[in-house]
Amino acid sequence: MMKKNDKLTRRELIRRGAGLGAATIGLLVLGSGTSGCGGEEGPNCNDTSGLTPQQQSTRSSLGYVAQSPYGTQKNCTNCNFYTAGGAQQCGSCTLIAGPIDPNAYCNSWAAKA
Ligand code: SF4
């Protein structure tokens, strides 16, 4: 009799533990789903819908890419043609119209004077 109650208690503990584990996993999934919306990754400077076809063409012909293949050694933040925006905002470029990602790069990159 005592052993049966003991088994039930263990079973109950395991069941509750499994429920708690599932709830924890659910919270972790929810948490990871919202971390990309917090702005830690920087501004979204990919909206070129306000540009004319000519401006969009210039952007692509100069090889603008949102993430520099040279990392922080050569990106818009250290380019002579870049003007920074505010915190968590896109910057601008004297050669390319539209929002410019600070981490972007194009073939006209020139070291800041
Ligand atoms: S010229 Fe190119 S690398 Fe320089 S700021 Fe403009 S887009 Fe960035």
| pLDDT tens string 35-76 | 333 345 678 999 999 999 999 999 999 999 999 999 999 999
pLDDT reported for residue 43: 86
**DSSP letter, residue 77:** G
Please give the model's pTM, rounded to 2 decimal places.
0.66
pLDDT reported for residue 9: 60
Measured from CB, residues less than 6 Å from any atom of ligand 1 are 64, 76, 79, 81-82, 93, 95-96, 100, 104-106, 108-109
Looking at domain 51-113, which of 3.90.1170.50, 2.60.40.1510, 4.10.490.10, 3.40.50.150 is its CATH number? 4.10.490.10
CA of 39 to the centre of ligand 1 (A): 22
pLDDT reported for residue 67: 97
The best mutation among 90, 93, 112 to test binding of ligand 1, ranked by most ligand atoms within 8 Å of the C-beta, falls on: 93
Residues 6+ apart with CB under 8 A from 91: 45, 76, 77, 82, 83, 84, 85, 99, 100, 101, 102
